[in-house]
Amino acid sequence: MNRLLSNVVGSFVEAWQELRIHKTRVMLSLIGVAVAVCAITTVVGLGAVAQQALQEQNEQQGGRAATLSLYVAKYDGTPVDAEVMEELWTTTLDRYGIDYASRVVNSSQTVQFADGAVPVRVTAVDQPYGTMHRVRLTEGDWFGATDADRLAPAVLVNQVFYDRLGQPDLATHPTTTLLGDRPTTAVITGVYPVSTWDTEPAMYLLADTLAGLSSPEQQAANGVVPNYEMWVPAGLSEELTKAIQRDFTAAIGSGTNVSVSRQDYAAFNEDPFGSIKLLVAGVAGLVLLLGALGLVNIALVTLKQRIREIGVRRSFGATAGRVFFSVMMESIVATLVAGVVGVIGAVLIVTNPMLQGFISQGAVTDFPPFPVEAAILGLVCATVVGALAGLLPALVAVRVKVIDAIRY
Amino acid sequence: MTLLHLAGVTRTVQLIDAPPLTILSGVDLDVAVGDRVSIVGRSGSGKSTLLNLLGLLDNPTTGDLEFDGRPVKSFSSAERDRVRGRDVGFIFQQFNLLQGRTALENVMTPLLYAQGKQFWQRARIATEMLDRVGLGHRLGAMPDKLSGGEQQRVAIARSLVRGPRLILADEPTGALDLETGADVMALLDEVATGSGAALITITHDPAIAALATRHLRLDHGVLTVVGAPDDSALLGGDVPDDLRDDDLAAVPA
């Protein structure tokens, strides 16, 4: 134990001395490793931001895992009676104990702006939709339980819409006029962010609000058929899909198309980010390999100059194992330091707001912190590269003929 | 007490496309604690090979080599390294101080391979040792800032810092002028005497060889005992024929 401890400490001391003395060589060889580790950590770190962006976008579009989508329409194109559907929908939710469910109607609503009436994309939903699609607001709050009872309906507008209004303070209860059969004044209660490429105004309404804005005939004429979404446990999704399909088909009867399917991103692939991860890992691995090759190269060249020193150490009792370990240690200590530098660089790069904005394209509301696994991966890679790059020189060092090395 | 015992030791090297080359043949030697042995010989006479064997860096092809009563062949590789570190101190012609390390760090180097007290208190032990060779004021000096004599004194401190029982000095004054060489040898003798270690000096220099109490000559791989040189050798005067080495300038300018 005592021998092991003094051997390990001794090797560290030797490695540190060696690094201190050959600063320039070490710096040169480590620049490659530091850059490689920085690259691999940055790529993994940015991968996490990109993944978050992708996931948020997917969740906003398709809902969280597992979101079931129910679509019912008659084969002749006429809508199913709204009351029947309403009844069936409520019963189904009760029967299966589904708490998070929402009707989703995509429609268009003319809105009066200062510069004229403009058609605005509307997504009419129920209150749980905000949680199901992880909708985040930059200002105000998502629909509350009492919003359905408002006399002036609540409306959530996107940033483009809000900018167009001149960004009024929400505390002053700004209003907007929804035109149509029954022009209505709505109160803006929240603002949600948009991607940088999204330049059109849009808004969320409660489904009941939308129904009140135009007559059922008008809606039918517009071809508005609601979609029904349910957020269910992923493990139960298949059973529920079958059960709900069966229930609706039985209740509505023939001549109707009932379709229940998963629509969230996780439904399409086991690991939707697998291919991205693979690509990132491949590129990073290649970068690291190049760094390692540079390190081995420099280590081997400089070893020639160190043969005498190794001979001297051997003559003073350094065992072959000790020489091997010391040379190896030197490589590992050096690459570990380079790894730390690389990781720090990567953290600075990844958390840079400009870069984050570029990667996320405004689609990420919730920036993940710098992923710890990326930092650990960087350090592990540095250590492994150090060990691998140290292996060859260490093997050469062990084979040094002591007296020849000293006397040559 | 016999420290080293060589009986009928030969060392041959296998060459490609040539018959084996015999470098040492029938070497008999006993070295006891406290002995002062000098070995002279021409270049190519097998001095390096003998040094390898005496320093436990190599095994004989045939014959017996015992260290401290134990056959060296029975040692494992690591054990041999450890015995060498503990019991053998090397002094080289070119000093072979580790560049870029201070005098103190150089003297501490052998203690890095020790255990226990010697390892953990290496700085204190090395400082004391440098003090003993009169370099207590140059602890932080780099080798290239030290004179030749000072470098060799650091090397002596380094070889003795673990308290070896055998000191192998390979041309210890070869790179020093006459006066400095004599100083260094006097110091080496004094420190070796103080620690009770055996001192084997391999040298071209008859004057240095004359300081030993036993004189050996290596010629074409055969080790023979020769008589003691007279005092005139020490003064750079006539050297007995059997100590004369033709292929060298005894004292570099």
% of chain B residues with pLDDT over 90: 32
**Structure confidence by residue, pLDDT tens digits, A319-347:** 888 888 888 888 888 888 888 998 999 88
> For the ranges A216-220, B71-75, B199-203, which has the lowest average pLDDT?
A216-220
Of A232, A267, A302, the residue at which a domain comes to its end is A267
* Smallest CA–CA distance from B164 into chain A, residue: A316
A259 and A144 together in one domain:
yes
**Structure confidence by residue, pLDDT tens digits, A135-194:** 888 889 899 888 878 888 899 999 999 999 899 998 998 999 888 777 889 999 999 988
- Chain A hits for B116, Cβ within 8 Å: 2, 6
**A&B contacts, CB < 8 Å:** 84
Average pLDDT over residues B35-56: 87
A40 and A170 together in one domain:
no
Q: How many domains does chain A have?
A: 2
Is the Cβ of B42 closer than 8 Å to some Cβ of chain A?
no
Q: Which residues contact B218 (CB under 8 A, 6 or more apart)?
A: B39, B40, B41, B45, B46, B47, B50
Is the Cβ of B52 closer than 8 Å to some Cβ of chain A?
yes
pLDDT at res. B231: 45
Is the Cβ of A403 closer than 8 Å to some Cβ of chain B?
yes
Mutate to test the interface with A, among B109, B125, B167, B171 (most CBs of A within 10 A): B109
Shortest Cα distance from A342 to chain B (angstroms)? 28
A83 and A21 together in one domain:
no
A215 and A283 together in one domain:
no
Instruction: Judge whether residue A47 has pLDDT over 90.
Output: no
A49 and A70 together in one domain:
no
Instruction: Judge whether residue A53 has pLDDT over 80.
Output: no
pLDDT at res. A270: 55
Q: pLDDT averaged over chain B?
A: 84
Q: What is the Cβ-side half-sphere exposure of residue A184, based on CA atoms within 13 angstroms?
A: 21
Instruction: Judge whether residue B114 has pLDDT over 50.
Output: yes
Asked if A319 and B81 come within 8 Å (Cβ–Cβ), the reply is: yes
A269 confidence band (pLDDT: 50, 70, 90): low
Q: Which fold has domain B35-56+85-215+228-240?
A: Rossmann fold (3.40.50)
Of A199, A233, A267, the residue at which a domain comes to its end is A267
Average pLDDT over residues B184-188: 85
Asked if B101 and A322 come within 8 Å (Cβ–Cβ), the reply is: no
More confident residue, A258 or A203: A203
* Smallest CA–CA distance from A406 into chain B, residue: B96
% of chain A residues with pLDDT over 70: 91
A248 and A299 together in one domain:
no
Of A267, A298, A326, the residue at which a domain comes to its end is A267
A365 confidence band (pLDDT: 50, 70, 90): low
pLDDT at res. B66: 92
**Structure confidence by residue, pLDDT tens digits, A61-117:** 777 778 888 888 877 777 777 788 888 888 988 988 888 999 888 888 889 888 888
% of chain A residues with pLDDT over 90: 8
A82 and A218 together in one domain:
yes
Q: Which helix (H) or strand (E) holds A112?
A: strand A101-113
Asked if B109 and A316 come within 8 Å (Cβ–Cβ), the reply is: yes
A16 and A35 together in one domain:
yes
Is the Cβ of B110 closer than 8 Å to some Cβ of chain A?
yes
Domain that holds residue A235: 63-267
A218 confidence band (pLDDT: 50, 70, 90): low
Shortest Cα distance from A322 to chain B (angstroms)? 9
Is the Cβ of A398 closer than 8 Å to some Cβ of chain B?
no
A250 and A170 together in one domain:
yes
- Token digits of residue A49: 């931001």
Long-range contacts of B113-122 (CB under 8 A, 24+ apart): B113/A10, B113/A313, B113/A316, B113/A317, B113/A318, B113/A319, B113/A322, B113/B82, B113/B85, B114/A6, B114/A317, B114/B85, B114/B86, B114/B162, B115/A2, B115/A3, B115/A6, B116/A2, B116/A6, B118/B162, B119/A6, B119/A9, B119/A10, B120/A6
